[in-house]
């Protein structure tokens, strides 16, 4: 009973510490109304990136199931007809095609058309993960890829590698095409928000997230090592041992989820090892 009470108190202290770090490091930006994509189109003509910051490209995207379309396909007449609209961020599991819900395995094309206001600055996209390989095209040109999206398990190479990608807007209209494939995870689709904003703000956004993750990792790891040292001094009491190991596992979780800082430490880390490690520390 004493061990359970000890661990419960330690968990409460750890929770307070985590909330304090998150509160102090999180940028508090509140917008009265963030525009959302409607029927595959997003109007950002009234959005000021300099004063309002990056915007998530959330809402209804055009969805083309079991088709990997090229940007040139949309220049043809008639233009490819979408399977329907799908909400981003979100998984495609359960999405109905011909009256039947689809599973996580498969491939698809997402498309979003954006209207921008007058621009004088360099922009950037912020990508986290998509399940589990994808390639992005903007106005017909390849912008970024993570892994290798294919139409079968054999031709698909999964990869999680969050990135910020700078680009010069070629026009006041952006046509975003994303080819996504998933044959290695139970869930598929664009499950994380994609952000668009000025390059400086988007980079600061990612660096802030990484800073929070590293602060959490360092703080939790120190607490864990401290309790392991207590156990070394008093091996008769196993409570510090269990809580110390718990803290180290929680600390590792900060490196394998979210911005996945571990990919910067080990760029060639195999996807399967990364996903299994994130499951183990999240269990």
We report the CATH number of the domain holding residue 122 as 2.60.120.260
Would you state the structure tokens that stand for residue 133, as one six-digit string?
């390989």
Phi-psi region of 278 (alpha: psi -120 to 50; beta: other; left: phi over 0): alpha
The three state secondary structure string of 251-272 is: HHHHHHCCCCCHHHHCCCCCHH
Query: Do 99 and 179 reside in the same domain of the chain?
Result: yes
Q: What is the pLDDT of residues 125-149, one digit of tens each?
A: 999 989 899 999 999 999 999 999 9
Out of 73-87, 140-154, 195-209, 251-265, least confident range: 251-265
Give DSSP secondary structure letters for 42-84.
EEETT--HHHH--EE--EEEEEEET----GGGGGSSSPPPPSE
Per-residue pLDDT at 43 exceeds 50: yes
Q: Strand, coil or helix: what is 87? A: strand
In a domain, 35, yes or no: no
Query: Do 50 and 171 reside in the same domain of the chain?
Result: yes
Per-residue pLDDT at 181 exceeds 60: yes
In a domain, 34, yes or no: no
Per-residue pLDDT at 15 exceeds 70: no
208-to-25, 117, 127, 250 alpha-carbon distances in Å? 7, 27, 15, 20
Q: Which residue has the higher pLDDT, 82 or 129?
A: 82
Q: What percent of the chain has pLDDT over 90?
A: 60
Structural contact between residues 241 and 249, judged by C-beta atoms closer than 8 angstroms: no
In a domain, 36, yes or no: no
Out of 16-20, 32-36, 184-188, least confident range: 16-20
Q: State how far the Cα of 210 lies from the Cα of 263, in Å rounded to an integer.
A: 12
Which among 148, 171, 193 is the end of a domain? Answer: 193
- pLDDT at site 27: 45
Q: What is the pLDDT of residues 50-67, one digit of tens each?
A: 889 999 999 999 999 999
The values of phi and psi at residue 219, to 5°, are -65, -45
113-to-17, 57, 192, 234, 251 alpha-carbon distances in Å? 42, 10, 18, 63, 40
Per-residue pLDDT at 31 exceeds 90: no
Residues 6+ apart with CB under 8 A from 236: none
Q: What is the pLDDT of residues 93-117, one digit of tens each?
A: 999 999 999 999 999 999 999 999 8
Query: Do 186 and 48 reside in the same domain of the chain?
Result: yes
In a domain, 259, yes or no: yes
Which among 165, 193, 221 is the end of a domain? Answer: 193
The number of domains in the chain is 2
Query: Do 118 and 247 reside in the same domain of the chain?
Result: no
Q: Strand, coil or helix: what is 234? A: coil
Query: Do 80 and 150 reside in the same domain of the chain?
Result: yes
Per-residue pLDDT at 20 exceeds 70: no
Backbone CA torsion sign across 280, 274, 124, 22: positive
Per-residue pLDDT at 166 exceeds 70: yes
In a domain, 198, yes or no: no
When the pLDDT of each residue in the chain is averaged and rounded to a whole number, the result is 87
- pLDDT at site 24: 45
Query: Do 136 and 165 reside in the same domain of the chain?
Result: yes
Which among 61, 67, 65, 59 has a CA at the least distance from the CA of 97? 65
In a domain, 55, yes or no: yes
Q: What is the mean pLDDT of residues 28-36?
A: 67
Query: Do 56 and 148 reside in the same domain of the chain?
Result: yes
Q: State how far the Cα of 192 lies from the Cα of 185, in Å rounded to an integer.
A: 15
Query: Do 170 and 218 reside in the same domain of the chain?
Result: no
Asked whether the bond before 78 is cis by omega within 30 degrees of 0, the reply is yes
At residue 10 the predicted structure's pLDDT band, cuts being 50, 70 and 90, is low
Query: Do 47 and 140 reside in the same domain of the chain?
Result: yes
Query: Do 81 and 53 reside in the same domain of the chain?
Result: yes
Query: Which residue range is the domain that position 182 belongs to?
Result: 41-193
- pLDDT at site 4: 53
In a domain, 200, yes or no: no
What length does the chain have?
283
In a domain, 199, yes or no: no
Query: Do 141 and 173 reside in the same domain of the chain?
Result: yes
Query: Do 67 and 125 reside in the same domain of the chain?
Result: yes
Q: State how far the Cα of 31 lies from the Cα of 51, in Å rounded to an integer.
A: 11
Query: For the chain, how far is it from start to end, CA to CA, in angstroms?
Result: 24
Which among 193, 219, 243 is the end of a domain? Answer: 193
DSSP bridge pairs for 113:
41, 175
């Amino acid at each position: 009973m004493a061990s359970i009470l000890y661990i419960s108190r330690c968990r409460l202290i750890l929770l307070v510490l985590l909330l304090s770090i998150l509160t102090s490091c999180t940028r508090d930006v509140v917008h009265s109304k963030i525009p959302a994509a409607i029927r595959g189109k997003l109007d950002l003509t009234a959005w000021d990136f300099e004063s309002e910051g990056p915007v998530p490209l959330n809402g209804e995207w055009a969805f083309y199931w079991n088709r990997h379309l090229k940007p040139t396909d949309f220049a043809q007449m008639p233009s490819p007809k979408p399977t329907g609209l799908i909400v981003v961020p979100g998984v495609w599991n359960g999405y109905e095609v011909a009256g039947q819900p689809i599973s996580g395995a498969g491939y698809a094309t997402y498309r979003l058309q954006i209207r921008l206001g007058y621009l004088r600055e360099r922009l950037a996209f912020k990508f986290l993960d998509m399940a589990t390989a994808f390639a992005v095209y903007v106005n017909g040109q390849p912008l970024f890829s993570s892994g290798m999206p294919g139409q079968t398990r054999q031709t698909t190479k999964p990869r999680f590698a969050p990135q910020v990608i700078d680009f010069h807007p070629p026009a006041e209209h952006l046509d975003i095409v994303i080819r996504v494939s998933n044959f290695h995870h139970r869930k598929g689709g664009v499950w994380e928000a994609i952000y668009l904003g000025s390059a400086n703000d988007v980079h600061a956004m990612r660096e802030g997230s990484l800073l929070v993750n590293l602060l959490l990792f360092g703080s939790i790891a120190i607490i864990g090592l401290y309790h392991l040292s207590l156990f070394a001094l008093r091996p008769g009491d196993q409570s510090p041992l269990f809580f110390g190991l718990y803290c180290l596992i929680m600390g590792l979780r900060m490196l394998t989820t979210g911005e996945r800082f571990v990919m910067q430490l080990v760029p060639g880390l195999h996807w399967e090892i990364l996903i299994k490690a994130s499951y183990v520390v999240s269990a």
